[in-house]
A and B are shown apart, each in its own frame.
Chain A
Amino acid sequence: KQEVTQIPAALSVPEGENLVLNCSFTDSAIYNLQWFRQDPGKGLTSLLLIQSSQREQTSGRLNASLDKSSGRSTLYIAASQPGDSATYLCAFSGNFNKFYFGSGTKLNVKP
């Protein structure tokens, strides 16, 4: 059974801090790994996608890394802002078009 674990489950930081969210998965035969943002009561927005052959991807203040051998991915957020407050979920894709999700890290950035 594929499992995705995200630590911590919740995180509260003051504005301006750099922070790291963690994601671990049990299946090293992944096709890609994605990080999503979910605002309360809303759908998911894709932030970054890392192909299995890649090590990291960057978009603005976000940087995601992937280490298949250890089954880990991290999402680094630089200079956090109150608008970054949301739940961040990671998901990896395996065979047959299936995507497996973690339960997310709920981030609160305090002004």
Chain B
Amino acid sequence: DAMVIQNPRYQVTQFGKPVTLSCSQTLNHNVMYWYQQKSSQAPKLLFHYYDKDFNNEADTPDNFQSRRPNTSFCFLDIRSPGLGDAAMYLCATSRDGTGYEKLFFGSGTQLSVL
């Protein structure tokens, strides 16, 4: 029944060691989003894909990249993780991104940086 699936559930990486988080969806939605959420804070939008069209937020550090090889999958790459990048990373989807639709979230990946 899972519709937005994030792997892994927990990820531990070393300072400066590249890491990739993955997200897949069975909803066939056009839009996929990546949010960063630190403890007790609001989820912060990093970027989103409308189909293959990548949309970066102005304040997203260059250290964060994303790939969407097909409709179902989207990846978040952190090129050189710092201690400040430790957070919950949430993937979400919406059908057409008109702004009138629900957001569907995965369970998140909790990233620790040692």
Contacts and interface: CB of A to CB of B under 8 A. Distances in A.
B45 A42 contact: no
Interface size on B, as a range, is 20 to 34
A93 interface: yes
A21 to B, nearest CB: 15
B31 A4 contact: no
A4 B88 CA distance: 20
B40 A94 contact: no
A32 B99 CA distance: 7
B107 A93 contact: no
Given A41-B88, A104-B42, A95 B99 contact: yes
A58 interface: no
B3 to A, nearest CB: 11
Interface in B41-100: 41-45, 48, 50, 55, 88, 90, 92, 94, 97-100
Main secondary structure on chain B at its contact with chain A?
strand
Contacts of A81: none
A51 B42 contact: no
17 contacts: A43-B4, A43-B6, A43-B90, A44-B43, A49-B102, A51-B100, A93-B100, A94-B99, A97-B33, A97-B48, A97-B50, A97-B55, A97-B94, A97-B98, A98-B45, A99-B33, A100-B45
A91 B105 CA distance: 13
